[in-house]
Amino acid sequence: MKFDCNAHPIVCFSKVFDADFNPISQFAAIMTCASADEGCPFIAGAEQRLPVRYEDPKAFDGTDLMDQKYQERSLEIASEMYYVFSKIVK
């Protein structure tokens, strides 16, 4: 995915945690589903498993609010993850 014509592309995955490209150790698994403790899969190699719960917008699938609710949740997750990663000190 490219967000700018002068920037390197960002490699993104949608719910494919076991793709060959991904690391096999030294990473944290951030689980974003509301049932993060019970319903999310075991991620082999993760040094930490961090549940960060968000209500799934799928409750609005097929309604007039569907696009709005998915956009709201996406922005909520993005802004909170931006804040968290901005606090990481190398």
Is the domain of 10 the same as that of 43?
yes
Is the domain of 70 the same as that of 85?
yes
Is the domain of 83 the same as that of 45?
no
- Total domains in the chain come to 2
Is the domain of 49 the same as that of 82?
no
- Name 29's bridge partners: 49
For residues 48 and 29, is the Cβ–Cβ distance under 8 A? yes
Q: How far is the C-alpha of 7 from the C-alpha of 32, rounded, in Å?
A: 28
* pLDDT for position 38: 67
Give the global pTM. Answer: 0.59
* pLDDT for position 70: 93
* pLDDT for position 49: 82
Q: What's the pLDDT tens digit per position in 12-35?
A: 666 677 788 788 898 888 877 666
Contacts of 87 (CB under 8 A, 6+ apart): none
Is the domain of 89 the same as that of 62?
yes
The residue segments making up the domain with residue 19 are: 1-54
Q: How far is the C-alpha of 1 from the C-alpha of 19, rounded, in Å?
A: 17
Q: What's the pLDDT tens digit per position in 54-77?
A: 888 999 999 999 999 999 999 998
For residues 40 and 31, is the Cβ–Cβ distance under 8 A? yes
